[in-house]
Amino acid sequence: MPITAPDFSWFFTPGSTFSYEEGPTGTLAVVDGGELWLPTGRVVACDPFIGLGGGYTAPFTAEAAPGRYRVQVAMATLTEPGEEPADKPHRRVAAARLLITDRPVVSWELAVRDGQDLAELDDDGFFGYGVDAGAGSFYDASCDDSFPDCEGDVGPLWDAFEAAGHVAGVHLVDGENGHNLAAFSSGFGDGHYPTWIGRDAAGAVTCFVTDFFVVPDGQAPAMS
């Protein structure tokens, strides 16, 4: 059986707190990053420094209606026990959310691409995307080749991270023909991270959430 989801709505409730078995505690805040344009509603999530362009990363099978949607990150501020407030707090992006609707989420499911079968996963397995440059993103599949200047450590995507810092929130980067992408740092860095789909009582998609495993297992409440 694949991994099960916590209630990611808790991640995006300001003031939610968690703790590690040894070490710091975390407090979550929501950072709004503006609107992402989805011309087709076919959502791609990947490390944009390695997965953007050329059709390298396929979109998820679940789709949203075409439109413009808010992108947010759940930002964790980590503090050691007894630590005085710091001028530069230790912050990590715990999760990133593409918010399709404000309707309450009643169920979560792993986002999959064509050819991925949840029944094939081992215990605690999941489908996700690999991160090798400490970043994640959301964008529309039709925009995949709209960022020819965003390759490696050059171009506007790299400049956005360099200028604002790796935990500044969401970096909206403009491409050709009015297209854009939303990028953000990936928790503690490189790894393999799942994206989840929230659905409302009618089964409609409410959001896409990528979990960067900053919040320890069992700290967030499970979906009731």
Handedness of CA 194, 181, 13, 132 (dihedral sign): positive
Mean per-residue pLDDT, 90-111: 95
**Cβ contact 211:111 at 8 Å:** no
- The band of 202, judged by pLDDT with boundaries at 50, 70 and 90, is very high
For range 31-39, the mean pLDDT: 96
**How does residue 81 score in pLDDT terms, banded at 50, 70 and 90?**
confident
Look at residue 10 and tell me if it is in a domain: no
Query: pLDDT category, 201, cuts 50, 70, 90?
Result: very high
Closest CA to 31 of 70, 78, 58: 70
Q: Looking at the domain assignment, is residue 224 inside a domain?
A: no
Q: How far is CA 20 from the centre of its chain?
A: 21
User: Residue 22: pLDDT band by 50, 70, 90 thresholds?
Assistant: confident
Asked whether residue 69 is domain-assigned, the answer is: yes
pLDDT value at 41 more than 90: yes
104 part of a folded domain: yes
Please tell me the pTM assigned to this model: 0.93
Instruction: Supply the range of the domain harboring residue 89.
Output: 17-211
| β pairing state of 17-19 and 25-38 | antiparallel
| CA separation for the pair 4, 99 (Å, rounded) | 21
92 in any annotated domain = yes
User: Is the pLDDT reported for residue 200 higher than 80?
Assistant: yes
| 222 exposure class (CB count in 10 Å sphere: 0-12, 13-18, 19+) | exposed
The percent of residues above 90 in pLDDT, for the chain, comes to 67
* Distance separating alpha carbons of residues 177 and 182, to the nearest angstrom: 16
Q: Are 26 and 78 in contact (CB under 8 A)?
A: yes
Would you say residue 2 lies in a domain? no
Domain total for the chain?
1
Q: Is residue 135 part of a domain?
A: yes
Question: Residue 214 — pLDDT band, cuts 50, 70, 90?
Answer: very high
* Distance from C-alpha of 200 to C-alpha of 210, rounded to nearest angstrom: 18
First to last CA, the chain: 19
Asked which of 42-51, 78-87, 209-218 is least confident by mean pLDDT, the reply is: 78-87
Query: CA 155 from chain center: how many Å?
Result: 22
Is 137 among the domain residues? yes
